[in-house]
Structure 1
Amino acid sequence: MANSRSGDGMIDRTVRVLETFTADRTTQSLSELSRRSGLPLSTTHRIVEGLVAPGLLERDDDRRLRLGPRLWELALRGSRVQRLRQAALPHMQQVQAVVREHTQLAVLEDDEALFLERLSHPDAGANITRIAGRLPLHASSAGLVLLAYADAATRRRVLAAPLVRLTPDTTTDPAALDTLLDRVRREGGVVAKGTVETVSTGVAVPVIVRGEAVAALAVVLPRGADVAGPREQLVQAARRTATDLEAEDRKAFR
């Protein structure tokens, strides 16, 4: 695999191009891709043509580029996150039928909470979470759960990094956050009031499979809402999801 002058391989450069697409930036011109990826226009053009041919990227009527359905198709084949989402979704729907606000599923990815699914009622309150979007571990309720159950190296790395304050209630002091994470583990979940948006409360619990927290289930409620019922709903949903995942594992090894 040929390297660029910077030492990046072709796969690294291809990933840089793909990573310029976001939930808010779904189409881009070739020059925008070049600028945002930091790659020369000629290199970007070669990469784009290589991605368009198999359908990983596609052009719209204005010749702007967007992610292609082929990329989505390949990502779902045998994906652990897709398997997790499929196991959790029926139980999330049961929670959502009761809370009628927002119910979501997240995993730990690159020291952030990556959201795999979100169910929302049309009349639900504020929630900035998006499917395939990310939130800081120290701010979101799902992120706090994932960080509390993460390995020691991940926890040290996040505590040592700058902790951005999203609202006045976001915990940004490393010592205070460390203490909070210990409490999350002791209590088996978290209630985070106003840490992402001042008007909302996040409630989250871990999905634990064979001693490992593989995901977090969360609901986002209006700040003054009662949390006892939704939390119990989440606990039961997390247990059922874990049971289904473990059953799938046993079936796979028969």
Structure 2
Amino acid sequence: MDKPLKTPPPYPVASVDHALRAATILQMEGGATVSQIAERLGVARSTAHRLLAMLVYRDFAVQDEDRVYRAGPVLELAAHSQSLVSRLRAAALPHLRRVVDLVDETTNLIVRTGDTARFIASVECRQALRVGSREGMVFAAHRTTAGLLLLADLSDAELDEVYAPERYRDRPGDRPDLARLRTELARLRRNGFAVNKERSERGLVAVGVPVRDRDGTALAGLSVSMPGVRYDPHRLQPLVATLDASARALEADLAEVR
């Protein structure tokens, strides 16, 4: 049995959320200045400076001589992973913003690590009722649109390795039914897109497509998220076409910078 869906806390603490988001930015992207953190979080520079100072104090961040903050010992991440995530995010943001302009729904870029999917970029739409930014959040891969698409890119042997029973010895309830998952992934491979109705969060529907490398390997997933009350199945094909066009444009940009 899968663990419960993620739900936001009833009494969120903004300062804690800001600190956690700042730490995630440093971990995923390799470094940022006070001004960049302030802009990303939507806070004053003085607030960003205090957040970063506390992260440094607790070893979640370090400050270079050039005043750039980077992930500290607590948040160590392989340099190549930082480089890939940073490159993906920088290349994807203009395309995410363009999708938001076209469909007016929150748009995301997601990568997979093992059995989890991490949102590395998120651009919110302008509608009052909208799905908020999921940037930095981590979900079970089989519960997210992009996670499913990235799992669908694996061979049977690779999927067996990701969900090997010994990996779930201490949390057997987190392991999905592999027979059912294989059937779903085969369908996603045929379709080339995925639709997620409330699998990760209640009241949320997401549609996504893969973003591929030059050799055809799926690097990430591009998705739009919307409140379920606004999802219209008749809009699905135009929505998928918009996402496909943006994914191909992003792939072309990534090819140029390599």
Map 1:11-26 to 2 at 5 A: 26=20
Pick aligned residue for 2:245 from 213, 218, 236? 236
2: CA distance between counterparts of 1:185 and 1:195?
A: 19
2: CA distance between counterparts of 1:244 and 1:58?
A: 32
In the other structure, the counterpart of 1:207 is: 211
Unpaired runs of 5+ in structure 1? Answer: 1-21, 28-56, 166-171, 250-254
Map 1:112-191 to 2 at 5 A: 112-122=116-126, 123-127=128-132, 130-160=134-164, 161=168, 162=172, 164=174, 172-191=176-195
1:111–1:154 CA contact under 8 A, matched in 2: no
Q: TM-score, length-normalised on structure 2?
A: 0.63
1:112-148 Cα deviation digits (max 9, x unpaired) = 1111100012524345x63222111110111111111
Pick aligned residue for 2:109 from 97, 105, 111? 105
Amino acid at match of 1:79: S
1:220-239 Cα deviation digits (max 9, x unpaired) = 12224123332211111111
1: CA distance between counterparts of 2:116 and 2:157?
A: 14
Amino acid at match of 1:90: P
Amino acid at match of 1:67: A
Q: TM-score, length-normalised on structure 1?
A: 0.64
1: CA distance between counterparts of 2:240 and 2:181?
A: 21
Between 1:193-202 and 1:77-86, the stretch displaced more is 77-86
Unpaired runs of 5+ in structure 2? Answer: 1-15, 22-50, 63-67
1:76–1:82 CA contact under 8 A, matched in 2: no
Pick aligned residue for 1:67 from 57, 61, 76? 61
Between 1:97-106 and 1:149-158, the stretch displaced more is 149-158
Deviation at 1:163, TM superposition (A): 5.7
RMSD of Structure 2 on Structure 1 (CA): 3.4
Pick aligned residue for 1:94 from 82, 95, 98? 98
Q: Which has the higher helix share?
A: 2
In the other structure, the counterpart of 1:221 is: 226
Larger radius of gyration: 1
4+ residue runs over 6 A deviation: 73-78
Provide the secondary structure at the position in 2 that maps to 1:202: strand
Provide the secondary structure at the position in 2 that maps to 1:79: helix
Map 1:67-86 to 2 at 5 A: 67-68=61-62, 69-71=68-70, 79-86=83-90
2:60–2:71 CA contact under 8 A, matched in 1: no
Higher relative contact order (CA 8 A, sep 6+): 2
In the other structure, the counterpart of 1:48 is: none
2: CA distance between counterparts of 1:23 and 1:158?
A: 30
Count of aligned residue pairs for this structure pair: 192
Provide the secondary structure at the position in 1 that maps to 2:200: coil
In the other structure, the counterpart of 1:197 is: 201
